[in-house]
Amino acid sequence: MKATDTAGTTLRGKVTCVGLGPGDPDLMSVKADRLVRNASHVAYFRKRGRAGQARSIVDGLLRSDVTEFPMEYPVTTELCFSGDDYKQQLAAFYEHWTAQLLSLCGETDVIVLCEGDPFFYGSFMHLHSRLQGQVEVDIVPGITGMSGCWTATDIPITWGDDVLTVLMATLSEEELTRRATGDDALVIMKMGRNLPRVYRALTSAGRLQDAWLVERGTMPGQRVQRLQEVEGTVPYFSMVLVHGKGRRP
């Protein structure tokens, strides 16, 4: 049975969000690769004026006749993410692209590209919740960016009964310190200008000497350093890792 949108229009197509993995195209799943290469309509998120990380991953894989739909964020770091203006602009952005995808699905399938895994802090989640009940939606999982980053350190992230905690660097310094003090293995995402806060929190927790920073994990230009040796600014999509040291045979 074909899906219908809220206006009762029969939709011939469906939306498939494809997880592209951590950045290296060779780490895409076989299914993701097949869907990307055969797609006639592709949408992807990007910052205005940028190519977009997801689009860069599939460069050279798309059909010559593919129709592309760059979904450009109205804001990224220009406004505080907790402010009402930021929330309103992002909500309007997701509502607009929900309507656009539904319109496209009136005639065709649409592939939405997502770096990492779509259900792990992926922007597509905000479209997924709005598309539910209006169109068929499929999700293709992908290797997470953090998997690529901890593999780049050549150290297992967890051992035995270690508890792994994933944190956002946007959290308060007090919360970061509390988590770093009490938990075994840590992945801290969304670095950029938040790095000094993370640095201080790990220092307070006595974990700085065990922390690593990975920039552009699995991609050209990958850089892996001990955090205490890092100087200057780092990209927003860098990750800090603290490996567990749990039970071993």
Fold topology of 3-143: Cobalt-precorrin-4 Transmethylase; domain 1 (3.40.1010)
Q: Where are the domains of the chain?
A: 3-143, 146-242
Q: What is the average pLDDT score of the chain? A: 93
Pairing of strands 67-73, 110-114: unpaired
Is residue 218 within 8 Å of residue 238, measured between CB atoms? Answer: no
Q: Which two tokens stand for residue 34?
A: 């097949």
Reported as a single tens digit per residue, the pLDDT across 121-137 is 999 999 999 999 999 99
Cα gap 27→127, rounded to integer Å: 25
Residue pLDDT, tens place only, 231-248: 999 998 899 999 999 988
- Report field, pTM of the whole predicted structure over 0.95: no
Is the CATH number of domain 146-242 3.30.390.50? no
Structure tokens at 183: 């938990």
Bridge partners of 164, per DSSP, are: 185
